[in-house]
Amino acid sequence: MKSTFIKIAAVATLACTFAVGSVSAADYPKKKPREQSWSFSGPLGKFDKGQLQRGLQVYTEVCSACHSLNLLSYRNLADLGYSDDQIKNYAAEYEVQDGPNDDGEMFERPARPADRFKGPYANDKEAAAANNGALPPDFSLLAKARAPERGFPTFIFDIFTMYAENGPDYIHSLLTGYQDPPEGTEVGDGLHYNPYFAAGEALAMGPPLSDELVDYTDGSPMTVEQYSKDVTAFMAWAADPQLEERKQRGFIVILFLLVFAGLLYFTKKKVWSDLSH
Amino acid sequence: MSGHSTYNPTSGFGKWMDARLPLARLMHDSFVSYPVPRNLNAFYTFGGILMIMLVSQIITGIVIAMHYVPDANVAFESVHLLRRDVSYGGTLQSWHAVGASLFFFAVYIHIFRGLYYGSYKAPREILWILGVVIFLLMMATAFMGYVLPWGQMSFWGAQVITGFFSAIPLVGETVREYLLGGYSVGNATLNRFFSLHYLLPFMIAGIVILHVWALHVTGQTNPTGVEVKSKQDVIPFTPYATVKDALALVVFMIIMAYFVFYMPDYLGHADNYIPANSNVTPAHIVPEWYFLPFYAILRAVDFNIGIPFTEIVLIDSKLGGVLAMFGSIAILFLVPWLDTSSVRSSNYRPTYKVFFWLFVVNSIFLGYLGSRPAAGIWIPLMKGSTFLYFAHFLLVMPLLGFFEKPLPRPASITDAVLGKDGKETAAAPVAAE
C-alpha cells in the first residue's frame, strides 16, 4: 500500500512541478522578494525597539506625508519604549477636530494619546486627488496585506521553517528595488519601474527614500537600505502589535500541550497494556 | 449493539433522578460503557476531535460576536480592534479563523477514513448521509463566516459564490437578490450572513447528535470491516477510547496552536487585510484552501452543453460549472449505493485500494488547481482532474465490485487481533452489551 501511494505521490508531484514551470511567466512580481533576517521572526522573535523608533522617525518625516495609519492610536507608541510624556508631546504636534462643544461648534485641539494617528488627508478622495488618482494605502495592516504567494513547493517548506515574514520582505524589497527599466520596457507617465512590485512592472509611488534623508541620532547608517529596514519593521509592528505577546504565549501553550501529550501517551499505554489490539 | 444499560446509580439523588430524567444513564451508556471495536486505529479519533472543534468554534465565536459589529462601515475595523485592544482578542480571533481551517482538515480526514473503510455501507447509510449534511452545513457556515471580516476576499468571495445562484434558470436572479438582500453585496448581505453564521453551527450541533445517535445504533466500523460478533471483539469506551481520543485531541491541538500562535496568516489570504472595496477587484479571487477542489471543478466547465450540430444551448458553461460543483458534493449522498462491492474495508480490496489513493492524490491536486488562474495549461488539467474525481464515483465504485477479487477476510475482529499477536496477553475486560 505504502509503495503504491509513494509512486502515485511522486507522479503527482512531477506533474505539478512541470505544470508550474510552464506557466507563471506573465505573473508579477517579476522578482521574488529578497528574504531578510528580522529580529521578530522565529518562535521567540522580538521587535528591536531602537529599530522601531527609527522606523517611526522615517514614517513621521517621510511616509506620513501621504500614508495614513488609521488603526493605531498615539498611545500604542508605548510599545516602542516611549514614556507617557514623550507620547503626549508627539501627539500634541498634531491638531485634530473635536466637538461639538456646548455651543454646538466643532473645534480644533492638539491630539491626545487616546486619539488615532492623524492622517495626511481628510478622506480617500482627497488622498487620491493629491496623488494623480493613485490612493496611497493605509499603513496599519500593509505588512500583512502585501504578502505575495510563495508558490509550490516553497509554501510547504514554509510551514516547517515558520516563515511568516513575506510581508516585510516584500515591502523592504520594494522600497530598495527601484531601478531603471530594462531596454525595451516602456513605463507609463508618472509610473516608476520596480521589478518587485506585485501588481505590475511599475507603480505610482516614486522612490520615497534616499541616503541622508532622515537624521538618525543613534549612529545607525543613514542609507536607503537601513531606512527601509527600519520603516518596514515599524510597519510589521503596526500590523501586528501583539506579535511578541502572541509568540511568548504560543511557546508556553505548546510546551504545556507537549508535556500533557507525553503524560497522556504513557497513560494510554498503561490503560491499553492489558489487552492486545 | 445497544443492549441493556449497565448504569447503576448508587446515591439517593442518582436513583431519584434516574427515575425521572435518566440523563446520567444516557451519558453513561453513550460514553462510558458503550462498546467500541478493540482494533480501531488513529484515524478513528477524528470524530471526537471534530466534536471538540465544533464546541471550540461555537465558544470562540460567541465571544467574538460580543465585539464584532455587523455593519459594512465598521465591520473590518471592529475585527481589528478586537485583535488589538481586547485582552486575548488576537488569540481569540486567530483561534476561530485557524480553527475553521483545521475543522475542515479534520473533517476531510474523517471523510476519507469513511471512504477507505467502507463506513457508508449497510447498515450505516443514514449515518453517512447525516455526515454529508453536516459537511454541507459546515461549508455554508465557513463561507458566511469568511464574509464577516469584510476584507477584499470576503467581499469578492461573497460576490462570486452568491453569483452561483444566478445560474439557476428562470428564478436564479430572484434567489440571488433574496440572498443578498439587494442587487449587490452590501450591508444587508453582511447582516443576514452574520445572523445565519450564528444560526448554522447550532443546526450542525443538532445533526451531530443524530449522527452520533445513528453511530451508536449501528456501532463503529473497524479496519477489518468485519462486524462485531462477540464480547471479545469490543472494549468499553471508557477508559480505552476516552484516553486514546484525548491523546489524539491534544496532538491535534499542538498543530493548531502552532498555526494560531506562530503562523496565524498562513492559512488565510493576504488580501483580506485590505478593507472591502466594491470598486477594486482583486487580481485573483480565490476561496479559502478547503474550498479549492470545488472551485477547480466549478471552473473546469468552460463550455456550453447543447444539442450537437445545432446552436441550441441546453446548459451554458456557468450553469454547467455550478452543477458540476454541487454535483461533486451531492454525489457523496449516493456513495452507499454506488459502491457495489460486498467487502467493506479497503484493506481487503487490492484494486480499490490503489484507486482510493489515486482519488486522494487527485483531490489534493484539484485543490492546487483551484488556487491557479483559469488560463493556459491549468484548464485542461482542471478538466482531467475533474473527470477523474467523478470517474471514481461513477465508474470505479460501481464496476470494481463486479471485477475485483477481494483478499480473504478474518472471521472476526478477535481473530484478526489474536492472529497477529499470537495470544491474549491478559484477560481483557469485557464490555457491556
Please give the pLDDT value at position B432.
46
Asked if B240 and B60 touch (Cβ cutoff 8 Å), the reply is no
What pLDDT, in 10s, does the model give residues A124-165?
999 999 998 899 999 999 999 999 889 889 999 999 999 999
Neighbours of A110 (CB within 10 A): 13
Contact flag A257-B80 (C-beta cutoff 8 Å): no
E strand or H helix that includes residue B321: helix B317-338
Q: Which of A257, A263, A273 to mutate to test the interface with B (most CBs of B within 10 A)?
A: A257
DSSP state letters, chain A: -HHHHHHHHHHHHHHHHHHHHHS-TT-S-SSPPPP---TT-STT----HHHHHHHHHHHHHTGGGT---TT-BGGGGGGGT--HHHHHHHHHTSEEEE---TTS--EEEE--TTSBPPPSSSSHHHHHHTTTTPPPPPSTTHHHH------TTHHHHHHHHT---HHHHHHHHHHT---PPPTT----TT-EE-TT-TTSSEESS-----TTSS--SS----SHHHHHHHHHHHHHHHH-TTHHHHHHHHHHHHHHHHHHHHHHHHHHHHHHTTS--
pLDDT in tens, A236-252: 999 999 999 999 999 99
Closest partner CB to A257 (pick from B253, B372, B376): B253
Sign, Cα dihedral of B214, B216, B217, B223: positive
Contact B127, B210 (CB under 8 A): no
ipTM value > 0.85: yes
Of A159, A242, A274, which is closest to B426 when you measure between CB atoms? A274
Predicted local distance difference test score (pLDDT) of residue A24: 42
A264/B246 Cβ within 8 A: yes
| Minimal C-alpha gap between A212 and chain B (Å) | 33
User: Which tens digit of pLDDT belongs to each residue from B186-220?
Assistant: 999 999 999 999 999 999 999 999 999 999 999 99
Q: Which of A145, A261, A274 sits opposite B270 (nearest CB)?
A: A145
Amino acid at B297: I
The reply to whether omega before A29 is within 30° of 0 (cis) is yes
Residue B341 has pLDDT above 90, yes or no: yes
Q: Residue A138 contacts by C-beta under 8 Å, 6 or more apart in sequence?
A: A67, A68, A69, A70, A71, A119
Query: What are phi and psi for residue B252, nearest 5 degrees?
Result: -60, -40
Candidates A79, A141, A252: best to mutate against B (most CBs of B within 10 A) is A141
Chain A stretch 187-206, residues whose beta carbon is closer than 8 A to a beta carbon of chain B: 199
- Stretch 16-75 of chain B: residues touching chain A, C-beta under 8 Å: 38-39
pLDDT number for residue B420? 53
Please state the domain extents for chain B: 1-33, 34-421
Average pLDDT over residues B44-49: 97
Alpha helices in B38-124 (DSSP H): 46-65, 75-85, 89-116
The identity of residue B10, as a single letter, is T
Q: Is residue A227 within 8 Å of residue A214, measured between CB atoms?
A: yes
A253–B244 C-beta distance less than 8 A: no
Q: How many residues does chain B have?
A: 433
Summary mean pLDDT of chain B:
93
The 10 Å Cβ neighbour count of residue B21 is 9
Task: Work out the pLDDT band at B223, boundaries 50, 70, 90.
Answer: very high
Q: What is the pLDDT of residues B94-108, one digit of tens each?
A: 999 999 999 999 999
Q: 294-353 in B: which are within 8 Å (CB) of A?
A: 353
CA distances from residue B407 to A271, B117, B343, B347, B352 in whole angstroms, order as listed? 33, 14, 9, 8, 12
Closest partner residue to A247 (CB to CB) among B262, B417, B424 is B262
Residue type, B142: A
User: For position A21, what pLDDT does the model report?
Assistant: 39
Nearest to A67 by CA among A231, A242, A233: A231
Higher pLDDT, B222 or A274: B222
CA dihedral B159, B164, B168, B170 (to 10 degrees): 10
Please check whether residue B377 touches A, CB under 8 A: yes
Unique residue bearing C-alpha cell 530598495: A176
Judged against a pLDDT cut of 80, whether residue A27 lies above it is answered with: no
Name the minimum distance, in Å, from the CA of A219 to any CA of chain B: 33
Q: How does strand B35-37 pair with strand A202-203?
A: unpaired
CB contact under 8 Å between A159 and B77, yes or no, is: no
Fold of B34-421: Cytochrome Bc1 Complex; Chain C (1.20.810)
If we measure between CA atoms, which residue out of B36, B215, B45 comes closest to residue B130?
Answer: B215
Q: From A142, which residue of chain B is nearest by alpha-carbon distance?
A: B273
Separation of alpha carbons B72 and A176, rounded Å: 36
A276 vs B264: CB contact, 8 Å cut-off?
Answer: no
Between CA B53 and CA B99 the distance in angstroms is 7
CA distances B189 to B144, B177, B197, B289, B326, Å, are 10, 10, 12, 23, 22
The answer, for A255 touching chain B at a CB cutoff of 8 Å, is: no
Residue B160 pLDDT > 50, yes or no? yes
C-alpha A194/C-alpha A31 separation (Å) is 9
Q: What is the pLDDT of residues A48-58, one digit of tens each?
A: 999 999 999 99
CB within 8 Å: A22 and B265: no
B276 within 8 A of B154, measured Cβ to Cβ: yes
Q: Which of A150, A158, A244, A264 would you mutate first to test chain B, the one with the most B CBs within 10 A?
A: A264
Residue for grid cell 470491516: B225
pLDDT band at B3; cut points 50, 70, 90? low
User: What pLDDT does B225 receive?
Assistant: 93
**CB–CB contact B273 A144 (8 Å):** yes
Determine contact, residues A216/A54, Cβ cutoff 8 Å: yes
Predicted pLDDT at B417: 84
CB within 8 Å: B262 and A43: yes
Given a cut of 50, whether residue A228 has pLDDT beyond it is yes
Radius of gyration of chain B (CA): 24
A37's CB contacts (< 8 A; 6+ apart) are none
